[in-house]
Structure 1
Amino acid sequence: MTQYTVLIVEDDQQASYTLEQAVNQHPLFKVIAAAESAAETHGLLGQMPDLVLLDISLPDGNGMDLLRTMRQQGITSSVIMTTAERESTTVANAIQLGVIDYLVKPLRLSRVHQALNDFVAFQTKLEESNQIDQLQIDDLMGKNKAQLKARKTPKGIDSTTLSTMIAHIKARKEPFSAQEIGDELELSRITARRYLEYLEEQGMVSMTLNYNTGGRPKQLYHVIG
């Protein structure tokens, strides 16, 4: 079982202790160190933690500046901000610097665990495959949920049928035609082709032409990744 390492950067000892307890309650995470200042943090980043819980207000600096320095030094640890700062410009700057979550104090245990679970889900999806399609990228970046509220699928594409087709074609090892998929899912060739063209637009499948048919070239699809 993978266990992710965590560095806590927090100048308030009580808040740091509370965070450490919350993190260590999660079976997939382990706090390896805690720092109370920017200077102390620099000395601990060499351990390359998987995740840094970073406060903005530090006695000898600013967490945002510390994050910029980390990225300039090539330290790729994921970062979750834990702060009382609520100004929209501060939140926007943190997002631009690549934080994966932003937790406002006073922290709630359930919200901390939600952030940790989101981190695990993100890492798991990235590790599942060397290449991922557009739908998976949108899911990783949280776009699918927002899009589904306004429009589940384009006109003419039923979400249930689409999900069924995706699950079906992912199990196939060899290239397939729209006619074959249509027959297997009891859809017309035209309908199956419409869905496959949509999946091609999303980067999930690619289409090639088979000229070895003795006649008109045949469109064959295969799953990417």
Structure 2
Amino acid sequence: MKNKTRVMILEDDVRASYTLESTVNHHGKFQVVAVSETCAEAIEQFKLYTPDLVFVDITLPDGNGLNVIKKLRELSDSCHFIMTTAVRETTVVEKAVQLGVIDYLVKPIRMSRVNQALDDYLKSIETFRNNATVDQAGIDSLLGKNPTTQTRRTPKGIDTATLERLRDRINELRLTEFSAEEVGQIMDFSRITARRYLEYLESEGTLKLELDYNTGGRPRRVYKML
């Protein structure tokens, strides 16, 4: 665990906790040192393990994750926090931002999104540690601002015309719930390509991803229109 970033997880959902723990440990530069299911347990483990980064759920059996962050900040002002929650209300997101959380992950959480959050954390920490000062571009990058010269509307791997065609087909067929496999058949995509476009639509708030565990085996990923 030498030189690895110490991570603590506060999550009462066993499946979500396991997914987070396995993803973080698989990254290579992070190590989960503690997993808590309650606010009280989290405070005690925080004192014991002094993590660098904490994943915090909002809805917990004995309290609210936002209040836990306030208490943990009193114990350490150098720790960073990432929210992991199904709560989407803008008032809650605003409070989280005011508390200084560095990321906000909406459940069900994708492993790729967790890895992105971890990479962003490492990038920011490296900038803080290796530079005495930072220019405007560096500050914009740390704050997640897009450069003014950026003209690309969609990320690499997402073609704008294809994306619009997918939107049109969903509206035309009046689809409200579907899988990547079903979209792949409709659009003549591979399952992987369909999932990439659906994950993009989810990230911009058009779709919601849910896991169907009533399959008798591996959970089925279902996308629903918002």
* CA shift in 2, pair 1:74/1:32, >3 Å: closer
TM superposition score normalised by structure 2 = 0.62
Shift of 1:75: 3.9
Q: Which residue of 1 aligns with 2:74?
A: 72
Counterpart AA for 2:46: L
SS at match of 2:7: strand
Shift of 1:14: 1.9
Q: Is the Cα contact below 8 Å between 1:9 and 1:55 reproduced in 2?
A: yes
Which one has the largest radius of gyration?
1
* CA shift in 2, pair 1:50/1:74, >3 Å: closer
2:118 to 112, 116, 119: 116
Alpha-carbon distance in structure 2 between the residues aligned to 1:75 and 1:44 = 16
Alpha-carbon distance in structure 2 between the residues aligned to 1:142 and 1:22 = 23
Q: Deviations over 1:183-215 (max 9, x none)?
A: xxxxxxxxxxxxxxxxxxxxxxxxxxxxxxxxx
2:62 corresponds to 1:60: yes
Shift of 1:69: 1.5
Q: Deviations over 1:133-168 (max 9, x none)?
A: 33322222222x243337xxxxxxxxxxxxxxxxxx
Q: Which residue of 2 aligns with 1:11?
A: 12
Shift of 1:76: 2.6
Q: Is the Cα contact below 8 Å between 1:48 and 1:75 reproduced in 2?
A: no
SS at match of 2:114: helix
SS at match of 1:124: helix
Alpha-carbon distance in structure 2 between the residues aligned to 1:3 and 1:74 = 19
Q: Is the Cα contact below 8 Å between 2:137 and 2:147 reproduced in 1?
A: no
2:54 corresponds to 1:42: no
* Structure 1 alignment gaps of length 5 or more: 151-225
1:102 to 82, 101, 104: 104
* Structure 2 alignment gaps of length 5 or more: 152-226
Alpha-carbon distance in structure 1 between the residues aligned to 2:42 and 2:77 = 12
Counterpart AA for 1:65: N
Q: Deviations over 1:33-83 (max 9, x none)?
A: 100000000101122211000000110000011111122334431100000
TM superposition score normalised by structure 1 = 0.62
Alpha-carbon distance in structure 2 between the residues aligned to 1:41 and 1:131 = 35
Shift of 1:97: 0.5
Alignment length (residue pairs): 149
Alpha-carbon distance in structure 2 between the residues aligned to 1:83 and 1:146 = 29
Q: Which residue of 2 aligns with 1:127?
A: 129
Counterpart AA for 2:4: Q
Alpha-carbon distance in structure 2 between the residues aligned to 1:122 and 1:74 = 18
Alpha-carbon distance in structure 1 between the residues aligned to 2:35 and 2:70 = 19
Q: Deviations over 1:102-154 (max 9, x none)?
A: 000001010111111111111111111222233322222222x243337xxxx
Q: Which residue of 2 aligns with 1:149?
A: 150
